[in-house]
Amino acid sequence: MEYPLVFEEDDVAAELQEELNYDGFNVDDTSKMVPNIHEGPELKIVNIDQTQINKHTCEGNSMVRLLLTGKGKDRNVQANQDTFGSDGEFLNYFFIPKLVFHNKSKEPISIIELSGEYEDSHGNWCECHNIKLCSALSENDANYNWLPDTTLNLEPLKLTTFRVRVDVKVKGTPGSSTKHRTRAHKSLPQPFKIRLTLHDTEGKTASLLVEQANEPFVLPTKEIIRKNFDFENIVAFVYADDCDADDRYWVIIYYEDKSKLRFSFGYSLNGCETKYLDTWLIKDLCNQAKKTATTEIVLDEWNHDWRTITALFDKETFILFGFRIELKTDTSKTRETVLLPLDKIRERLAIEKLQPEDDRILTTYTSIS
């Protein structure tokens, strides 16, 4: 019962093989291609070296000194954002892991308020939305017991350590993922400067300037994707940026082996979707183009709302010679024509011609199944 099916597929393969001939075909002989375009902005990420941010000393006339303590990452100011905004605004949170209040006086001193300001992108100092204190011994947010206010009673000649949270209200939209939210928002300058000021009961003040630097933000590039996903023999890398969401959408084309090209689609570095272009699919596409006398076939099964992949054929021979890749985001648009590595296709077709007849039947039947 299975023999007619195998023979039928063999007949199809023979028909396609007869129609497909890359020998002597040159891309220069094809009709004029649509020009490449790149419209809209590209992402520009400013990465600050955490080890290069300035360390500041406490200033003011209060007997209480403010000091940063801790080593390495324990000293770094961390950031996070609301998951969702409201009325076009959200809170950006900044966490100072260990802030020491050192009472250098031989008498107790009370702190009636701890206030905060931050420097905006125009160099203006703006009032922070809120400041909270809790014990610096907590290990995770679930255990933080934030004090009801910033009033403190400090014993003489003692050091008291607190964890400080500074809230900044930002206009815009919070990051779309955890990676995008665990940082100062892109509308804020880098490094981000916060000035903490204590007010004691004697009417004196002391202030300390602290700086926050975002962790390096890695954008997908040809080399980074090659390394992260272990891709080799890359034919093309095409991308378009969404500057509102800080995402890069990309398509990478590379040879997995001599028999097939791999098309991988992704955004940022959050994994990818893959489609394969083997010689059987090339033959099938060329056959469709010839039967319908078309020079373009949109690959609906490969497309998405942000990408369109179109196969391109020579207008006389209907040989598949390339793909037009169109990527569109809310801020940018890219269109590029990628030419196929014809020498590798010729090499693979030559290998298939040398295969025994039974092997070619099995190869065709396996590809279809």
Closest CA to 50 of 167, 216, 168, 180: 216
Cis bond before residue 191 (omega within 30° of 0): yes
Give the percent of the chain with pLDDT over 90: 60
| Selected residue with higher pLDDT from 223 and 46 | 223
Nearest to 269 by CA among 236, 305, 231: 231
Categorize the per-residue pLDDT at 342 as very low, low, confident or very high, splitting at 50, 70 and 90. Answer: confident
Measured in whole angstroms, the distance separating CA 55 from the mean position of its chain's CA atoms is 31
**pLDDT at residue 150 is higher than 80:** yes
- Over residues 41-45, mean pLDDT: 87
For range 203-223, the mean pLDDT: 93
50-212 sits in which CATH class? Answer: mainly beta
User: Residue 53's pLDDT is what?
Assistant: 85
pLDDT at 46: 76
Instruction: List alpha helices for 34-153, DSSP H.
Output: none
Rounded to whole angstroms, the Cα distance separating 93 from 107 reads 34
CA dist., res. 96 & res. 286, Å (int): 62
Q: In the prediction, which pLDDT does 139 show?
A: 57
> Residue 293 has what DSSP assignment?
T
SS3 176: coil
In one-letter notation, the amino acid at residue 214 is N
Give residue limits of the domains in the chain: 3-42+218-368, 50-212
- According to DSSP, the residues that pair with 81 across neighbouring strands are 92
Judged against a pLDDT cut of 80, whether residue 335 lies above it is answered with: yes
The full length of the chain comes to 369
Task: State the average pLDDT for the chain.
Answer: 85
pLDDT-derived band at 44, boundaries 50, 70, 90: confident
Residues 6+ apart with CB under 8 A from 305: none
Residue 214 token pair: 């975002």
Asked if residue 31 has pLDDT above 60, the reply is: no
Please tell me the predicted confidence (pLDDT) of residue 356.
57
Q: What is the pLDDT of residues 104-145, one digit of tens each?
A: 999 999 999 999 999 999 999 999 999 999 987 655 555 778
Are the C-beta atoms of residues 165 and 132 closer than 8 Å to each other? Answer: yes
Q: Quick check: helix, strand or coil at residue 316?
A: coil
Q: Which residue has the tokens 């272990």?
A: 230
pLDDT of residue 3: 37
Tokens of residue 117, six digits? 């300001």
Q: What is the CA radius of gyration of the chain?
A: 31
pLDDT given at position 361: 43
Short-list 77, 130, 70, 124, CA closest to 100: 70
* Helix ranges restricted to H, the chain: 3-19, 178-181, 222-229, 279-292, 342-354, 357-368
Looking at the chain, the number of H-run helices and the number of E-run strands are: 6, 20
In the structure encoding, which two tokens stand for residue 318, read together?
Answer: 């209907």
Residue type, position 180, single letter: H
Taking alpha carbons only, the member of 248, 290, 348 closest to residue 19 is: 290
